[in-house]
Amino acid sequence: MRYLDRMQPLGLLVLRLTLGVILVAHGSHKVYGHMQEYAGYIHSLGLPAWLGYVSALVEFVGGILLIAGLLTRCSAIAVSIDMCVAIAKVHWKHGLLGNGGYEFPLSLAAIAFALIFLGAGAISIDAIRGGTGGGRSKS
């Protein structure tokens, strides 16, 4: 089991990369050419339109930051909030497993939630910067 404990940075890297790539893929569609339509869609949900811009940037820029392991905890908090709003406003009515259900955004929120508490790990820019990249403390 000690071997698996030493592999924790690799596990955190896989979580960050998976979440980051998915977010960049979903966010890039919104950022490159469809930002106004997405903001209009968010407004149709009863939220301020400017939150559409925030949501798209959280997905795209937050995904890039998660891939790099930079400002991981801040990005993870923003992604968690973004996914919780998506579940509440869009996916909840479809149920857990229905078409458009909330199982996928719930999975993304769970990964982001874990990264809030675990941090980026040793294989990250956060760790290189000397920030609390997560993992085991040196004390």
pLDDT, tens digit (0-9, with 9 covering 90-100), for 33-67: 899 999 999 999 999 999 999 999 999 999 999 99
Please say whether the beta carbons of 23 and 62 come within 8 A: yes
pLDDT, tens digit (0-9, with 9 covering 90-100), for 99-114: 999 999 999 999 999 9
State yes or no: pLDDT of 137 exceeds 50: no
pLDDT at site 131: 65
Could you identify the residue written with the tokens 């966010």? 27
Note the pTM of the prediction, 2 decimals.
0.89
Work out the average pLDDT over 112-125. Answer: 95
Alpha helices in the chain (DSSP H): 2-6, 8-31, 35-44, 50-68, 72-86, 103-118, 125-129
What is the rounded average pLDDT for all residues in the chain?
92
Confidence of residue 3 (pLDDT cuts 50, 70, 90): confident
**Spans of all domains in the chain:** 15-128
pLDDT at site 5: 84
pLDDT at site 130: 82
> Token pair for residue 15?
């979580």
Confidence of residue 138 (pLDDT cuts 50, 70, 90): very low
Four-residue CA torsion sign, 72, 74, 75, 79: positive
Q: Which of 78, 75, 69 is nearest to 133 (CA)?
A: 69
**Dist CA 4 CA 95 (whole Å):** 36
> Token pair for residue 33?
């050419």
pLDDT at site 132: 56
Could you identify the residue written with the tokens 């973004």? 82
Work out the average pLDDT over 82-90. Answer: 96
